[in-house]
């Protein structure tokens, strides 16, 4: 378990602070993550990677010459926010555009996509690429739905080495696509991981058994088998991966492959070497030529006891890029000339920070009626934060049945930050719309992950609908909720029946619109809609997930409601209480 921490909520930030203090030769801190401390040639494509904390050396440990130009680092097992990614990418950009790379998880897809849009609005050309190498998470016919695990490294490295050669953005992206299409991973685990501050692991494995097809966010495996010997584990990993070759590889014999045997946190190096001796022999028997193998911890999951095997099937070009030198805190290969420090982008000193005078925060002008309504909004956000805090453990437990168990943690971070930002804006005389949009930004930024992106969208949609000029009536609020429902479906791609928060948001929005259309006051209309939301959330227990991290574990989730749907239902009822108090 994770034993050394202070405030669990501060773990990711404090870990990043210590990492940058220890590795100033390679990286410098920026808002949202780290970038190279060495100079990058003007016009070079910047490869910016990222994901949640808890996976070191991914992602911050892979920043340096020959690999990433920057890494956006989210909270534990949660994607960084779009604002964090945008900040890191802006700091890393040197005129050649930005390629944003990440594992294929819903939260990362949402936040990196939003960051790319913001970069484009700034005039910075940006592209995105999601690594999807985990063959246990979806079949070949649905390879685009696969998770990204230790295959991140060879795909990141191929793209970064191409960028170092001065290739333009579109060609660097094509290299990433080629490497991604030729990379496969498969893993096993013997015990789950324990998050900082938690008193139990996210999942357990029975004695003398192993979980097969694990995820790196503490998700349980897709099945269980008897505990193997080291040679038996090697055979399972190799034979599973050799069953699925890239489309243009008919036979493994005569092929070259980059091979990574990855430890997930608590399997020791000597154990990995025992397994690798058999991996190498089996691949040799199959006629595979191993190129520059890596054995060690490359993508971890805190203290998870497990291993994964990654094969990247090489052609001449990919082999050149795989062999190219790199110099980062956690990954080094070959030799590079002495690096020049990035003097033009030196970090701000503590003394300079102490003397800097922050700009006074300002809010848009608002009418008296909107400022009064902002008081009700603030009370509602306070109720949201309190109900989430009271149910955070329950939400985590529900989420851990088939996911990574962090929903309660993320919701607590997001709702607390949203209430704090709303209180600050309200104190400055902001109207209802601005209070909500400030809360939206704070929720998305502090929570990260899928829920952060979606709740940021919900609050922003409501804020836009309410505005700062008029007193929002029941119809205006219902209109905002309807717009939020549409925005969430457009952003996340989920629909009713997918076992997500959409299964509650859509019927809640429809019921609120119908009730206000009948002329009911807002509190009464919200009460009716909240009752609908509660029933809809309970109904998700009968659904099988079709999207998100729970999808590979669909059968395990049957009988348990969706965590996001349940939290939304709790929130709708809590907000009703605030509306009654401020009627």
Whether the Cβ atoms of residue 499 and residue 557 lie closer than 8 Å to each other? yes
pTM: 0.88
Whether the Cβ atoms of residue 565 and residue 504 lie closer than 8 Å to each other? yes
Among residues 458, 463, 448, which one has the least CA distance to residue 490?
Answer: 458
Exposure class string for 482-496: b at 16+ Cβ within 10 A, else e? bbbbebbbebbebee
Domain ranges of the chain: 1-131, 178-325, 368-581
pLDDT of residue 356: 41
Query: For this structure, is 426 an active site residue?
Result: no
Strands of the sheet with 223-226, listed across from one edge: 223-226, 209-212, 183-191, 305-314, 256-263, 289-296
In 31-180, beta strands by DSSP E: 33-36, 46-53, 70-76, 98-103, 126-131
Pull the structure tokens for residue 363.
Answer: 């809010």
DSSP letter at 65 equals B
Q: Please, is 325 exposed, middle or buried when counting C-beta atoms within 10 Å of its C-beta (0-12, 13-18, 19+)?
A: middle
pLDDT of residue 554: 55
Q: Which CATH number fits domain 1-131: 3.30.70.580, 1.20.1250.20, 3.40.190.10, 3.40.50.10440?
A: 3.40.50.10440
Pull the structure tokens for residue 180.
Answer: 């991604």
CA angle, 331 then 111 then 76, to 5°? 55
Among residues 485, 453, 400, which one has the least CA distance to residue 78?
Answer: 453
pLDDT of residue 396: 86
Domain spanning 178-325: which CATH class is it, in words? alpha beta
Does the CA dihedral 413-411-486-118 come out positive or negative? positive
The structure tokens 């029933």 sit at 535
Whether the Cβ atoms of residue 484 and residue 464 lie closer than 8 Å to each other? no
DSSP one-letter string for 387-436: HHHHHHHHHHHHHHTTS-S-HHHHHHHHHHHHHHHHHHHHHTT--HHHHH
pLDDT of residue 350: 35
**pLDDT tens digits for the chain (583 residues)?**
678 889 887 899 999 999 999 999 999 999 999 999 999 999 999 999 999 999 999 999 999 999 999 999 998 888 999 999 999 999 999 999 999 999 999 899 999 999 999 999 999 999 999 999 999 988 999 999 898 889 999 999 999 999 999 999 999 999 999 999 999 999 999 988 888 888 788 778 888 898 898 777 767 677 888 999 999 999 999 999 999 999 889 899 999 999 999 999 999 999 999 999 999 999 999 999 999 999 999 999 999 999 999 999 999 999 999 999 999 999 999 988 887 887 766 554 333 333 344 455 788 999 999 999 999 999 999 999 999 999 998 998 898 886 767 788 889 999 999 999 999 999 999 999 999 999 999 999 998 888 999 999 999 999 999 999 988 999 999 999 999 999 999 998 899 999 999 999 999 999 999 999 999 999 999 999 999 999 999 999 999 887 655 555 556 778 899 999 999 999 999 999 999 987 6
Q: Please, is 247 exposed, middle or buried when counting C-beta atoms within 10 Å of its C-beta (0-12, 13-18, 19+)?
A: exposed
48 contact partners, CB below 8 Å, separation of at least 6: 68, 69, 70, 71, 72, 85, 88, 89, 92, 98, 99, 100, 101
The helix/strand/coil state of 355 is helix
Catalytic residue of the set 217, 407, 426, 576: 217
Whether the Cβ atoms of residue 163 and residue 46 lie closer than 8 Å to each other? yes
Residue 371 and residue 377: Cα distance in Å, rounded? 10
Domain spanning 368-581: which CATH class is it, in words? mainly alpha
Whether the Cβ atoms of residue 448 and residue 468 lie closer than 8 Å to each other? no
pLDDT of residue 553: 52
| Total count of residues recorded for the chain | 583
């Amino acid at each position: 378990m994770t034993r050394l921490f202070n405030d669990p909520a501060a773990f990711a930030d404090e870990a990043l602070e210590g990492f940058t203090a220890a590795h100033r030769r390679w990286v410098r801190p920026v808002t949202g993550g780290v970038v190279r401390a060495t100079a990058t040639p003007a016009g070079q494509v910047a490869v910016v990677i990222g994901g949640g904390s808890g996976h070191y050396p991914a992602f911050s440990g892979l920043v340096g010459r020959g690999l990433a130009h920057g890494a956006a680092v989210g909270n534990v097992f949660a994607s960084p926010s779009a604002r964090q990614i945008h900040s890191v990418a802006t700091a890393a950009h040197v005129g050649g555009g930005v390629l944003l790379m990440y594992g294929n998880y819903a939260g990362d897809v949402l936040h990196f996509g939003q960051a790319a849009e913001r970069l484009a609005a700034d005039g910075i050309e940006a592209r995105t690429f999601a690594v999807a190498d985990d063959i246990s998470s979806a079949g070949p016919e649905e390879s685009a739905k696969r998770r990204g695990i230790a295959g991140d490294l060879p795909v990141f490295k191929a793209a970064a080495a191409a960028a170092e050669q001065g290739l333009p953005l579109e060609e660097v992206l094509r290299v990433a696509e080629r490497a991604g299409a030729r990379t496969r991973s498969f893993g096993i685990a013997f015990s789950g991981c324990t998050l900082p501050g938690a008193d139990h692991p996210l999942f357990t494995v029975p004695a003398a058994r192993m979980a097969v097809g694990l995820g790196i966010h503490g998700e349980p495996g897709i099945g269980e088998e008897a505990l193997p010997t080291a040679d038996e584990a090697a055979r399972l990993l190799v034979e599973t991966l050799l069953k699925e070759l890239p489309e243009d590889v008919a036979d493994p014999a005569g092929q070259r492959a980059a091979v990574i045997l990855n430890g997930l946190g608590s399997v020791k190096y000597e154990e990995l070497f025992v397994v690798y001796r058999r991996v190498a022999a089996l691949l040799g028997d199959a006629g595979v030529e191993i190129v520059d193998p890596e054995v060690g911890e490359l993508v971890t999951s805190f203290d998870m006891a497990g291993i994964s095997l990654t094969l990247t099937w090489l052609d001449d070009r990919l082999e050149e890029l795989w062999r190219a030198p790199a110099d980062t805190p956690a990954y080094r290969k070959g030799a590079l000339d002495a690096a020049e420090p990035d003097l033009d982008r030196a970090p701000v000193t503590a003394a300079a920070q102490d003397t800097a005078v922050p700009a006074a925060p300002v809010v848009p002008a608002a009418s008296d009626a909107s400022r009064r309504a902002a008081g009700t909004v603030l009370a509602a956000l306070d109720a949201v934060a309190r109900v989430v805090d009271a149910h955070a453990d329950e939400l985590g437990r529900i989420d851990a049945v088939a996911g990574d168990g962090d929903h309660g943690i993320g919701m607590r971070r997001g709702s607390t930050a949203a209430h704090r930002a709303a209180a600050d804006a309200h104190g400055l005389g902001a109207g209802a719309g601005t209070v909500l949009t400030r809360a939206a930004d704070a929720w998305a930024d502090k929570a990260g992950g899928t829920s952060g992106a979606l709740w940021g969208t919900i609050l922003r949609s409501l804020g836009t609908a309410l505005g700062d000029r008029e007193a929002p009536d029941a119809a205006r609020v219902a209109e905002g909720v309807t717009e939020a429902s549409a925005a969430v479906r457009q952003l996340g791609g989920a629909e009713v029946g997918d076992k997500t928060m959409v299964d509650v948001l859509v019927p809640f929005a429809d019921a609120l619109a119908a009730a206000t259309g009948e002329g009911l006051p807002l509190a009464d209309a919200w009460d009716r809609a909240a009752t609908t939301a509660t029933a809809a959330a309970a109904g998700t227990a009968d659904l099988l997930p079709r999207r998100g991290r729970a999808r590979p574990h669909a059968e395990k989730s049957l009988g348990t409601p969706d965590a996001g749907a349940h939290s939304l239902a709790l929130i709708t009822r809590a907000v009703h209480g605030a509306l009654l108090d401020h009627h």
